[in-house]
Structure 1
Amino acid sequence: MLVKTVREHANRHGTVKEDDSHRVKKPGDTYNHPDPRTLIEAGFVVDAAAAEADAKKAPKGKPATDA
């Protein structure tokens, strides 16, 4: 499943780089994880497809200001 990082963490999944920098995931990074249920429940990642769909539903433009 493609996931999007919410909180920085490290694991062995994602694109492999020679310097092991793939282990650390920064907020906003996306990568494939075979079983992300625990990471989702702990709040480290979200389903990337669902996050993109939510972003498309969000209202565009400036947020309303309180008067």
Structure 2
Amino acid sequence: MLKLIKTKEEYDIALKRLGEVFDAPIGTPESDECDVLALLVGAYEDEHYPIEPPDPIEAIKIRMEEM
């Protein structure tokens, strides 16, 4: 049963299941489950592991070093 992910344990279980159904053929129930799990995992990660935008000066420095 799919439900919102509220704990780290539920997150770990959802990640494991996502790995199991990730390559399911499109149009199968497993593919649909994968889509929903990806949304649920993404929402949990956005809330608990936010990624801050980079500092603009640091981003320019990194880009200059790459060139």
**TM > 0.5 between the two?**
no
Higher RCO, Cα 8 Å, sep 6+: 1
Select the structure of larger CA radius of gyration.
2
TM-score with structure 1 setting the length: 0.25
Between Structure 1 and Structure 2, which shows a larger proportion of strand residues?
1
